Amino acid sequence: MSVTMANSGASIFEYYRDIIPEQENWTAVCSQPLPRCFWANTLKTTPLQLKKLLEADGFSLQPVAWDPTAFRTLQTDVGKQWHYSAGLLQIQEEVSMLPVHFLDPKPGERVLDLCAAPGNKTAQIAIRLNNTGTLIANDKNFQRMRAFGQISKRLGLLNVSTTVYDGRNYPRLLNYFDKVLVDAPCSGEGVFRKGKGRDIVPNKKNSLRLQRIQIDLLKKAIQLCRPGGRIVYSTCTFSPLENEAVLDAILKTHDNIQLKPVRLDHFQLTPAITQWQGKTFDDGVVNAGRAWPHLNNSGGFFVAVLEKQGELIEVDDSLPPKSIASDKDQLQAIIGEQVERFGFPDTLFESYVYNDDNYRGIYCVNADNQPPSELKIDATG
């Protein structure tokens, strides 16, 4: 079984030297292979059962201390195993799992993943919601959202509806969602250990271009989130222009937003910085967290938790749920044929609605997945 070497991020180290903690460990850690991380799909198995299956097939696993469903391995071919094909696990870089941990979605909540592609975090959310309720996965990239369909099918997700909008122009569903995730497009400096020798050079002009997009996305998320709700903002970059500066801009224009402390047992997150290249940020940004690769043997990441202040209100009843079911009589004959052919109990299908609008087959989704009627739904189930 193979391992992959990573580069040590020399250009990144030099550019951010002044804000990197414990610098003496950077090269030693970052020159090593990046561990492959994955989590157990608890809709189909348990972490213990998955661990036993993989170890029986020769895999050496290390539990992720802060997430009881996740494991690390240096063996890179876990995605080629039957366990992956059967949907028992999902591969995801460890730091990429942080946003959903801090979003903390719970069954019964309405959740929006505003920049969802390729869909790993959406899948995490779906399972945290127990495969029930209303989860909307959005991304402006149509092809990348199609790829999420394969993840959803393999994992058996039944509570996701997808939309294809530029997140900055998402329909004005004011105060509709309980939780909104903004895993924003960024310069991607934190993934340098996956570069296989390609050095990533920080680019200020590009970071400033992305900053404008990130601020607009976060403003939209605040509109969409209800008072008392939670927004998580994250990037996989080190650039303060795309991290602290974005939060600073939001805090200066939104007095109803409060940043909550981002800290985690068994994973070292350092406080966000308050100064960069002569610019001073709002003191509140220190509540956000930076994940440095040499402190956790991981990728680099930034995550912030924003809470929208105000009196908790009920969702506007003028937003009726969208009907995502195809004609019931039209589908009943097909479904009934499968029930009879395979001996399924009639009650098996009572909790689902069915859709055949995409002409690629019949898809089912939990009946309590009820996106608002204002949305143009691309796919369900």
What is the SS3 assignment for 213-261?
HHHHHHHHHHHHEEEEEEEEEEECCCCCCCCHHHHHHHHHHCCCEEEEC
Which tens digits make up the pLDDT trace of 73-114?
Answer: 999 999 999 999 999 999 999 999 999 999 999 999 999 999
Q: Which pLDDT band, with edges at 50, 70 and 90, does 324 fall under?
A: low
Mean pLDDT for 110-130 is: 98
Which tens digits make up the pLDDT trace of 28-64?
Answer: 999 899 999 999 999 999 999 999 999 999 999 999 9
Overall pTM > 0.75: yes
Q: Which residues contact 63 (CB under 8 A, 6 or more apart)?
A: 47, 70, 71, 72
Token output for 236: 């996989």
Cross-strand pairs, 354: 364
Give the architecture (CATH level 2) of 35-92: 2-Layer Sandwich (3.30)
- Rounded Cα distance, 102 and 118, in Å: 19
pLDDT of residue 9: 85
Question: Hey, do 12-29+96-308 and 35-92 end up sharing a CATH topology, with the first three levels equal?
Answer: no
Give the architecture (CATH level 2) of 12-29+96-308: 3-Layer(aba) Sandwich (3.40)
- Rounded Cα distance, 76 and 34, in Å: 10
Spatial CA neighbour of 28 closest among 296, 300, 294, 290: 294
Which tens digits make up the pLDDT trace of 189-240?
Answer: 999 998 765 678 999 999 999 999 999 999 999 999 999 999 999 999 999 9
pLDDT of residue 194: 87
Residues tagged active-site: 236
Give the rounded percent of residues in the chain with a pLDDT score beyond 70. 87
Averaged pLDDT of the chain: 90
Domain boundaries, the chain: 12-29+96-308, 35-92, 328-380
Cross-strand pairs, 352: 366
pLDDT of residue 196: 60
Residue 5: is its pLDDT beyond 50? no
Q: Which pLDDT band, with edges at 50, 70 and 90, does 4 fall under?
A: very low
